[in-house]
Amino acid sequence: MTESSKNEELPVPEDNVVTTTHTLRIRGKTIRYTVDVGTVVLKEEVDKKGHKPKAEMFFIAFTRVGKKNRVRRPLTFSFNGGPGSSSVWMLLGLLGPKRVPLSLDDAVAEKRLTPPYQVENNEFTLLEETDLVFIDPVGTGYSRPLPGEENDPDEFFTFRRDLDSVGEFIRLYTSRNERWSSPKFLIGESYGTTRAAGLAGFLQDRYGLYLNGIMLVSAVLNFQTILFHPGNELPFVVYVPTYAMTAKYHGKLDAKYVTMSDREFIDEVIAFTQNEYLPALHKGSSLHTETRNEVAERLAGYVGLSSDYILRNNLRVPIMRYAKEVLRTEGRSVGRFDSRISGVDKDDAAENFERDPSFDVVQGVYSACLNDYVRRELKFESDLPYEILSFKVLPKWQYDEFQNNFVNVTETLRGAMMKNPHLKLFIANGFYDMATPFYATEYTVNHLGLRDGVDSNVTMAYYSAGHMMYTHKPSLRALSSDLKKFIRQGS
């Protein structure tokens, strides 16, 4: 049998969507909503005669019933990061009507939930203000390339093709559900913020689809700020305030800093990085020994390390070394996603931690709750494994557009906001996020280059939590309130 005849015998894929109706009782009121869950076949136009099916994309859409004319009700598309992450984190952690029973509050930051797990009502859901569509990019969740397409990484696992496929889904959903007249928003987390910025430009340029607002949770728009490459001094500088907040949280600083408010302390640390630390790094090997020692001493006082260790690192401590070193005397390592969380490794003398203890806390509970929720409550059945965080996708991922450059979507975002001066931007930052540190985001925003008053469209918010700040209930409450206000103002 020839290859062409094999392909001809493959069944024609079809959309597979299940609809259910639900109610949610929170704060004395009832919210009625429908859920559409399933897969949509993405097709590529090949000629004037037809389209070629390329992939099945999984989504979960929540639509409130009876609140107002659906056409005028806000619509928000959500996705997470990676690349290779499904949308589960914000679905069950922040936005959806159900959430995981996990709250890493300050007093119980080390507490692990005991399995099994089940979702609970989310009193902070954004379904009160906006309909919600959660998108799993190809290779994540239940989204898969179709047979014959799975062996070509260029087809889906590149920066540009990711925008093509996610953008095409957004267009299809908006058209099929008659939502072109709805106020439209994007919300992304981590690499999902990179995707959101890229989509802002792509949707405008390709489809003429203009957005009302973009919400970025734990943002990374310029990878130069987070990649500790030789010759790139920027990450060493922008990580210092997060190192400092981590040391303060774990009691590694002098008493004079402990009594300071977080904002006062951060402002002092940032002043040090700008006025003393950055100029010292800029001088390189020409820095005088006396100044080098003084800077090391000052830095040690802020970040909870010894000046000797900082000097042996040539004043430059990368994130993985810091995560292992700051609590080394206690035999613990702090988390990358949330540096409030610490864990124990096999080797206390290692340079880096064995695994991220802050990911260990969330992985099992989110995975179990998603698989139970989708099948038991939403009635969608599939024997495929739901790829919560696919480590098959990340090694294949390519950034061809950024060869010999750091990935940087700030120009795309700036262009989208200048073309559409009504486009608002909200950025949520966690003080204990060592994956996408808050001062790196401040640096990026300060270099966006927005003009003609459009810079006033940007709102920055800060929370006493990590990368997934919604795992900290006080931060979840504040973040939910801030996002609802942003949507109301942008609609």
Q: Is residue 7 part of a domain?
A: no
Assess whether pLDDT exceeds 60 at residue 2: no
Determine the average pLDDT of the residues in 484-488: 98
| Residue matched to tokens 């179709």 | 146
Q: Is residue 234 part of a domain?
A: yes
Answer with the one of 295, 325, 358 that is the final residue of a domain: 358
> Of 180-184, 304-308, 349-353, 454-458, where does mean pLDDT reach its minimum?
349-353
Same domain, 210 and 270: no
Q: Is residue 272 part of a domain?
A: yes
pTM for the predicted model, two decimal places: 0.94
Answer with the one of 358, 392, 417 that is the final residue of a domain: 358
Answer with the one of 312, 341, 358 that is the final residue of a domain: 358
Q: Is residue 5 part of a domain?
A: no
Same domain, 140 and 153: yes
Determine the average pLDDT of the residues in 129-150: 91
Whether 336 contacts 435, CB under 8 Å: yes
Range of the domain at 280: 227-358
pLDDT for position 148: 74
Alpha helices (H) in 3-152, listed in sequence order: 3-9, 88-90
Distance CA 398, CA 68 (A): 43
456-471 pLDDT, tens digit per residue, is 999 999 999 999 999 9
Top pLDDT among 392 and 233 is at 233
> Of 47-56, 65-74, 224-233, 388-397, where does mean pLDDT reach its minimum?
47-56
Cβ-proximal residues to 355 (8 Å cutoff; 6+ apart), any chain: 343, 345
Same domain, 207 and 250: no
Q: Is residue 119 part of a domain?
A: yes
Same domain, 311 and 326: yes
pLDDT for position 150: 66
Determine the average pLDDT of the residues in 360-372: 93
Q: How many domains does the chain have?
A: 2
Comparing C-alpha atoms, which of 91, 171, 190 is closest to residue 394? 190
Whether 158 contacts 397, CB under 8 Å: yes
Categorize the per-residue pLDDT at 1 as very low, low, confident or very high, splitting at 50, 70 and 90: very low
Whether 338 contacts 467, CB under 8 Å: yes
Same domain, 335 and 473: no
Across the strands, what pairs with 59?
Answer: 38, 135
Determine the average pLDDT of the residues in 332-338: 95
Q: Is residue 8 part of a domain?
A: no
Q: Is residue 442 part of a domain?
A: yes
Residue 103 Rama label (left phi>0; alpha psi -120 to 50; beta):
beta
Whether 458 contacts 452, CB under 8 Å: no
> Of 100-104, 218-222, 272-276, 417-421, where does mean pLDDT reach its minimum?
100-104
pLDDT for position 48: 62
Distance CA 208, CA 190 (A): 26
Same domain, 216 and 348: no
